[in-house]
Amino acid sequence: MNRIKNKVAIITGATSVGIGRETALRLSSEGALLIVTGRNEEEGKNTEDMVINQGGKCKYIKHDVSSEENWKEVIQETINIYGSIDYLINNAGQFWIKPISETSLDDFKQICSVNIDGTWLGMKHCLGKMNDGGAIVNVSSLMGQMGLPEGVGYCASKGAVTSMTKSVALEAAKRKIRVNALHPGVIWTTMVGGGEGGDENLKNFFIQETPIRMIGLPEHMADAILFLCASDYITGADINVDGGRLADGSMGSHAE
Amino acid sequence: MNSLKDKTIIVTGGGRGIGAAACKLLADEGANVIVTCRTTDEGLSIEKDILSRNMSAKFISHDVTEEESWQSVIEETLTLFPQIDAVVNNAGNYNFQSILDCTHQSFKSLINTSLDGCFLGLKFGTEAIRRHGKGGSIVMMSSVLAKIGAVNMSALSAAHGGVKLLAKAAACELGPEKIRINSIHPGLVDTYTDEEFKKNYPESLDSLKYEKDNIATIPFQRKASCDEIAEAIRFLVSDESVFMTGAEITIDGGLIAQ
């Protein structure tokens, strides 16, 4: 398989057992050359080692996506190592829920700085350096398209990601750079209290309220991200990989 | 390439255009492809093309608007292969007429092929997939016209809007059985030469000028190729999309993002 052989991809938020790491392994298995970023150095190195151990090329760079200086360094180092950029996977994100009355303005600004500013900065600084025909995948959320009680910060920030994706898609179209939003449903990672050793009751609750009666896994997202990287004519689109939850439109209606 | 190895997949409208491109791609990925359409010479030509590359295909004559025809396609497929894994409801008709010019008969004819045909494919496809109980994938070919309006495309919009929500309703209903239903929404697709279009859709010749005039409005400044739509079909029938149901893949070069 070599749908994206020798293409250079930057993947943010690749420093834990989750979508970023799984995407790194998937894109590498198709021949991509990787830069993986995130704040946790130990886990970032682990991701780098895992990719190299399966025969891929990968370099971890410590990165806070809300820092413009950090972004400039990541892009410069990518150019230094590989010479160009083809794909940007804006995956790093923050999630928490809290009643709006108990959410401070600093809380709200914090989640927006990671989810909105982080995505915006990545696109702003990468686009000028990307090869024509490249692709940006912004990992938004099902919650960028619907409401979640006590999720005002998360929903607002992901809604912004979904919306700016379309604007940048139009701006980048003249260079045939594709920009799309991926909308995961509940993915069993530490972000939602899942992953290895996660609460089985919680997992079963999520399964029962999802039409396809499955829990989403990072590898499901990685497959969709690969699809979006390799597809030449999809841009400005919203791709839901959510087991049918948005189609169902009634979260929790299946839960017993 | 074997992302679909040993899967048996029915593709309606497989004799030309997107359907033909999908049949060839799915076969190249290892699937047993059942090519169905009404025009025997076109269907046989695609079957022959696939067999010549030592891949697996069988043409079956099929009118997607007839229940008996669906029954025959399912039965004949199951005499050849042990189970049916996916159905691609791709067959559709075309109409480019103002509301006043479009006769009720034309409207009903379009709905009959593009919406009723998808409903029957969903119904018979579900029954077939249920026989083995291991789940499967049904792909519904819709259009960007399920999301936006366009002049002279009222019948198409009605049909494709229906297909989109039929897919979502079915996704909710069939999810627990691991039968996934997703829709694809192409914008303009480079399907036919002008001569082929004139032969296939003599009532809709104004569409040729419309399409040429509107390419400039597509952010990508070109139509999609049939192969690009076929790749989305491949993704949706493959195990790469096992957590995806009730979803839409819009492939329009940015047309409706603006």
Question: Rounded mean pLDDT of A77-88?
Answer: 98
pLDDT single digits (tens) A184-226? 999 998 888 887 788 999 999 999 999 999 999 999 999 999 9
Whether residue A220 and residue B242 make contact (CB cut-off 8 A), yes or no, is yes
| Assigned domain for A190 exists | yes
Radius of gyration of chain A (CA): 17
CB pairs under 8 A between A and B: 126
Mutate to test the interface with A, among B243, B245, B249, B250 (most CBs of A within 10 A): B243
pLDDT at A251: 54
Region class of B104: left (phi > 0), else alpha (psi between -120 and 50), else beta = alpha
**For chain B, what percent of residues have pLDDT higher than 90?**
90
Q: Contacts of residue A166 in chain B, CB cutoff 8 Å? A: 257-258
Residues 6+ away with beta carbon under 8 Å from B44: B59
| Assigned domain for A248 exists | no
What token pair was written down for B41?
Answer: 């010479």
Cα B239 to Cα A146, B131, B133: the distances in Å are 27, 19, 16
A140, A242 Cβ separation under 8 angstroms: no
pLDDT at A254: 47
Q: Contacts of residue A236 in chain B, CB cutoff 8 Å? A: 219, 250, 252, 254, 256-258
pLDDT at A90: 98
B155, B104 Cβ separation under 8 angstroms: no
Q: Contacts of residue A237 in chain B, CB cutoff 8 Å? A: 249-252, 257
Residues 6+ away with beta carbon under 8 Å from B253: A173, A233, A235, B187, B218, B219, B220, B221, B222, B223, B224
pLDDT at A250: 65
pLDDT single digits (tens) B181-237? 999 999 999 988 888 888 888 888 888 888 888 899 999 999 999 999 999 999 999
Residue range(s) defining the domain that contains residue A54: 8-241
User: From B226, which residue of chain A is nearest by alpha-carbon distance?
Assistant: A233
Which secondary structure element, helix H or strand E, spans residue A137, and what is its range?
A: strand A130-139
**For chain A, what percent of residues have pLDDT higher than 90?**
91
pLDDT single digits (tens) A18-33? 999 999 999 999 999 9
Query: pLDDT band at residue A252, thresholds of 50, 70 and 90?
Result: very low
Give me the residue from B172, B221, B243 closest to A247, CB to CB.
Answer: B172
pLDDT single digits (tens) B244-254? 999 999 999 99
Other CB atoms within a 10 A radius of the CB of residue B24 amount to: 23
- For the cut 50, the answer to whether the pLDDT of residue B123 exceeds it is yes
| Assigned domain for A2 exists | no
Ordered by start, the domain boundaries in chain B are 8-257
Spatial distance between the Cα atoms of A9 and A179, rounded to a whole number of angstroms: 14
In words, the CATH class of domain B8-257 is alpha beta
Q: Indicate the burial class of B169 (C-beta count within 10 angstroms; 0-12, 13-18, 19 or more).
A: middle
**SS3 at position B36:** strand
Radius of gyration of chain B (CA): 17
Question: Rounded mean pLDDT of A42-61?
Answer: 98
Q: Contacts of residue A224 in chain B, CB cutoff 8 Å? A: 240-241, 244
Spatial distance between the Cα atoms of B3 and B23, rounded to a whole number of angstroms: 14
User: From A165, which residue of chain B is nearest by alpha-carbon distance?
Assistant: B257
**A26–chain B Cβ distance below 8 A for any pair:** no
Q: Which residues in chain A (176-205) have CB-CB distances under 8 A to chain B?
A: 176, 185
Residues 6+ away with beta carbon under 8 Å from A49: none
Sequence letter at residue A30:
E
**A211–chain B Cβ distance below 8 A for any pair:** yes
| Assigned domain for A174 exists | yes
Spatial distance between the Cα atoms of A46 and A38, rounded to a whole number of angstroms: 12
pLDDT at A197: 82
CA A169: distance to chain centroid? 17
Instruction: Please tell me chain A's helix, strand, coil percentages from 3-state DSSP, rounded to the nearest 5.
Output: 45, 20, 35
> Based on the structure, what is the number of domains in chain A?
1
Find the CATH number of the domain harbouring A78. Answer: 3.40.50.720
pLDDT single digits (tens) A154-191? 999 999 999 999 999 999 999 999 999 999 999 998 88
Q: Is A154 a catalytic residue?
A: yes
- For the cut 50, the answer to whether the pLDDT of residue B24 exceeds it is yes
Spatial distance between the Cα atoms of B129 and B120, rounded to a whole number of angstroms: 14
Whether residue B250 and residue A238 make contact (CB cut-off 8 A), yes or no, is yes
Cα A77 to Cα A42, A49, A70, A136: the distances in Å are 19, 18, 11, 19
Which secondary structure element, helix H or strand E, spans residue B58, and what is its range?
A: strand B56-61
**SS3 at position B45:** helix
- For chain B, the average pLDDT equals 96
Residues 6+ away with beta carbon under 8 Å from B116: B65
- For chain A, the average pLDDT equals 94
**SS3 at position A210:** coil
What token pair was written down for B59?
Answer: 């043409």
Spatial distance between the Cα atoms of A99 and B77, rounded to a whole number of angstroms: 56
Spatial distance between the Cα atoms of A244 and A241, rounded to a whole number of angstroms: 8
What is the pairing mode between strands A57-62 and B56-61? unpaired
Q: How far is B194 from chain A, CA to nearest CA, in Å?
A: 22
pLDDT single digits (tens) A95-110? 999 999 999 999 999 9
Q: How far is A235 from chain B, CA to nearest CA, in Å?
A: 5
Q: Contacts of residue A246 in chain B, CB cutoff 8 Å? A: 246-247
Which secondary structure element, helix H or strand E, spans residue A76, and what is its range?
A: helix A68-82
A47, A58 Cβ separation under 8 angstroms: yes
B164, B157 Cβ separation under 8 angstroms: no
**For chain A, what percent of residues have pLDDT higher than 70?**
97
- For the cut 80, the answer to whether the pLDDT of residue A2 exceeds it is no
Beta bridge partners of A60: A36
| Assigned domain for A143 exists | yes
Give me the residue from A213, A224, A236 closest to B257, CB to CB.
Answer: A236
Question: Rounded mean pLDDT of B159-186?
Answer: 98
Which secondary structure element, helix H or strand E, spans residue B35, and what is its range?
A: strand B32-37
Phi, psi torsion values for A114, nearest 5 degrees: -80, -55
**SS3 at position A244:** coil
Which secondary structure element, helix H or strand E, spans residue B158, and what is its range?
A: helix B154-174
B234, B1 Cβ separation under 8 angstroms: no
**SS3 at position B256:** helix
